[in-house]
Homo-oligomer: A and B are copies of this chain.
Amino acid sequence: MSGNVEIERKFLVASSDWRDEVSQADPIRQAYVAVTDKLNVRVRRYGPDAFLTVKGKAVGITRKEIETAVPVEFVEAVLAEGLFQGQPVEKTRYLVPHKGFTFEIDVFEGANAGLVVAEIELESEESDFPRPPWLGEEVTADHRYSNSYLAQHSWSEWGPPVEPPGGQVGGQ
């Protein structure tokens, strides 16, 4: 169980050069059991583990977050019974260490395929942090990049068209 005020900043990525520095990769599958004016309730499979998290609505870039580990079977039952809003969100999370910090890079799949987002967790709103060359535009304040929004409004519906990587045609 952990409870804390979470300060995260979120960015698009400008290139895939971060892939050379990945230290860990895990599949994530999550769904929003409830999304209200005040908070959301999320269940998440993260690698072999499972969590339930209550997140208060953001105030600036700060939000209350209370999380607990739960049995994998609990999350699977919530998913199987359809007790959630919108669609489950599927992605792979890559950890990318950089100058003493760790970026979390989420590569989305399914209906949100094409979207790649980098996040960094900070101790305070004023904390300084390094900007690797592959870091793109900041989208912390754009609520469309929240996973709870993506669960109800797929990136495939509102994101820009995806260009094939490297302009390859007919490749694997």
Contact = CB atoms under 8 A, between A and B. Distances in A.
Total copies of this chain within the assembly: 2
Contact of A74 (B1, B64, B74): B1
Given A52-B70, A74-B68, A38 B83 contact: yes
Interface in A40-59: 40-41, 52, 54, 56
Given A41-B41, A56-B81, A83-B39, A68 B71 contact: yes
A39 B33 CA distance: 8
A34 interface: yes
Interface of A: 1, 3, 33-36, 38-41, 52, 54, 56, 64, 66, 68, 70-71, 73-74, 77-78, 81, 83, 85
30 contacts: A1-B70, A1-B73, A1-B77, A3-B73, A3-B74, A3-B77, A3-B81, A33-B39, A33-B54, A34-B34, A34-B35, A34-B39, A34-B40, A35-B36, A36-B36, A38-B83, A38-B85, A41-B41, A52-B70, A54-B78, A54-B83, A56-B81, A56-B83, A64-B83, A66-B77, A66-B78, A66-B83, A68-B70, A68-B71, A70-B70
